[in-house]
Amino acid sequence: MKYEVAVAQIKPQKGATAYNLDRIGEIFAQLEADSPETSVLALPETVLSGYFLEGGVRDVARSAEQLFADLLAVYRQNVKRLDAVLDICLGFYELFEGKYYNSALYATLTASDDFLAPSIAHIHRKFFLPTYGVFDEKRFVSRGRTIEAFPTRFGRVAMLICEDVWHSISATLAALKGAMVVYVLSASPGREFSGRHIGNIAQWNVLLPGVAEEHNVWVVYAGLVGFEGGKGFTGSSQVVDPWGNSLIQASMSDEAIIRATIDMDDVAIARANSPLLADLEATLGDITLQLQQIAQSPHQK
């Protein structure tokens, strides 16, 4: 199975969810005009509000159902074909059961209920919350408790949010649960500047191919751009194939839409040539015992 994915890195207006929804509506219209074959649109972490909100999270957070209803309405306002269908993956601040989360939503949007029913496929809540450098997420949001793979129109996929990927076990869990595509949504501020070297971009260019190659999955990375409080996000959205090759990459500073073709058959081919995931699955029993021992006695030497 082959399908087209688009990644849009934009500069959200901080705290202005209505404005940012309108911007997403403009992207819907642009995709229909320029590339109607697009099947999935990925947008960055906290794209509806901006990232560094601190206590302002409570002012912009909404339920997944509210967000889905808003996205569906904006989609139907901006597309003209009655048979138009688009899967969307994006980050937002979520209010769920009395807690705030940094979350990602994957849903299917349709121009008409007559063609295909719109639906939410999954909500991922950021598992690892950074508390170093400029980050202090644990003060303002709760952390998610699970990492899941879930079915879509195009096979099983998973979503991870920024810091999740800096812990290698996150992508491993997603792959072990059947993910063939991993969507990574990020709001990554530039840091560790040395001439043309930007530390976080250099690290992403190691992490993303590493996730793809080790688990033989497609990786779709959507990075926020723009400035908040003097901190600049570094974009660099990209699509990486199951062998770890970056097929296309956006700039670090400009708004952009990049597109790529995902061939799901490549996952099986890559895994046959390099069965690292199969090797891991064969040792899961022993690994589980090791993890249980560590959990019971984490500082035992």
Contact at 8 Å (CB) between 234 and 11?
A: no
Q: For each of the domains in the chain, give its residue range(s) and CATH number, in order of start.
A: 2-274 (3.60.110.10)
**Mean pLDDT, rounded, for 57-79:** 97
CA 67 → CA 60, 64, 73, 284, distances in Å? 11, 5, 10, 38
**Could you tell me what percent of the chain has a pLDDT over 70?**
97
pLDDT surpassing 90 at residue 169: yes
Mean predicted lDDT score pLDDT of the chain: 94
**Mean pLDDT, rounded, for 237-251:** 97
What is the pLDDT, as a whole number, of residue 11?
96
- 0.85 exceeded by the pTM? yes
Tokens in use for 233? 């996000």
What is the pLDDT, as a whole number, of residue 102?
98
Q: How confident is the model at residue 191 (pLDDT cuts 50, 70, 90)?
A: confident
Q: Which residue has the higher pLDDT, 185 or 192?
A: 185
What is the pLDDT, as a whole number, of residue 128?
98
**Mean pLDDT, rounded, for 263-268:** 98
CA–CA separation, 292 and 166 (whole Å): 22
CA–CA separation, 47 and 51 (whole Å): 8
What would the pLDDT profile of 86-135 be if each residue is shown by its tens digit?
Answer: 999 999 999 999 999 999 999 999 999 887 889 999 999 999 999 888 88
Q: How confident is the model at residue 67 (pLDDT cuts 50, 70, 90)?
A: very high
pLDDT surpassing 60 at residue 301: no
**Which residues are 184's β-sheet partners?**
160, 221
Q: Which residue has the higher pLDDT, 295 or 183?
A: 183
pLDDT surpassing 70 at residue 68: yes
pLDDT surpassing 70 at residue 195: no
Residue 77 DSSP label: H
pLDDT surpassing 60 at residue 292: yes
CA 161 → CA 81, 95, 177, distances in Å? 32, 17, 17
**Mean pLDDT, rounded, for 9-26:** 97
